[in-house]
Amino acid sequence: MIDPHVHLRDWTQSDKETILHGMKVAASLGFTHLFDMPNTNPQCIDRDTILDRLAKGGEATEETGVSYHLYAGITTEDDQIKEMVELQEELFPLVVGLKMFLSQSTGNMGITDKKRQEEIVRLLSSLGYKGVLAVHAEKESLMHPELYIPGRFETHSLARPAESETESVRDIIEIAGNAGFEGTLHICHVSTAGTIGLVKDARKHMRITMGATPHHALLSVSDATDHGRYLKMNPPLRSEEDRNAVFSALLDGTIDWAESDHAPHTLSDKEKGASGIPGLPGMLLLLSELRKHGADDSRLRSIFGGRVIETFGLDDEEIQIPSDPLSLYEKAEGEYPIFPFGK
């Protein structure tokens, strides 16, 4: 299986997780490829840092057998963007694509100004970039940070409401269309019914994909009320209506693939309200639930790797679906200080 969206920490964040540990867990769960995100510390936004990260990932690959891939991060600087386009083309598939954050999240790599977002996508088009541009879509101007009450983590969903995601997705679809972007626009971790509808409509005229996490497919904001600080992430958990829309769209193929957005923290950091949860084990719970609701192995192979291979143009391989995913899920319980999905 493939998890195309993980944050493996390491370096200055080794107390949260190391690349090697994350890949060992992934191997135990049946994953053969991981796509790491660039909002590391230091950030993966220049050649030397990316090469260092790939070397560290390569060492873990030798020990675990799991292939390590990395997104290159996009900043506001034209020269940096050009360098990342060249590097992605040179090092693909180790560097699988480019990542742009349309709001501030963990790592503070947000490009929040719509005019600058337009300029960046136009630059990518002029450079002839035809790879994957993955975006974290939330719109800062529609957030309400004053509504967040520390210690009441369900209010995080009020501070970063559904409309902030949906309108950010609307913006980036418009931007990519107007720029004549010929790559694939990927909307990460969709969490609202509105976003799903926008992407579905956009497929009529552009190359666009979307992924969904186990937590947005299986949990709603009422769970954040019950479990508080442990279920805080960006984008946050949504209504039961949105949760059901995400799960149903995975089941029927409207959403292209599952992606964990695996983002572990120390228990101390979670107690202080850090955003992000260890999501790798949850992929097995999601697999089990999808199968329970009628997904056959052909559909599951598509959700857990097949569509990723097609979209990124990776070497074809047979996606192996575990026969007993719940047993693998339960064995992973002790790997992280919190187990957000429970038993």
Catalytic residues: 261
Q: Are 303 and 258 in contact (CB under 8 A)?
A: yes
Residue 147 tokens, joined: 């509504």
Strand partners, 80: none
Q: Are 143 and 104 in contact (CB under 8 A)?
A: no
Q: Are 21 and 49 in contact (CB under 8 A)?
A: no
Q: Which run of H or E residues covers position 97?
A: strand 95-101
Q: What is the C-alpha to C-alpha distance for residues 26 and 63, in angstroms, rounded to an integer?
A: 12
Q: Is 268 helix (H, G, I), strand (E, B) or coil?
A: helix
- Which one-letter amino acid corresponds to residue 290? L
Strand partners, 36: 6, 70
Q: How many CA atoms lie within 13 A of 133 on its CB side?
A: 31
Q: Are 34 and 17 in contact (CB under 8 A)?
A: no
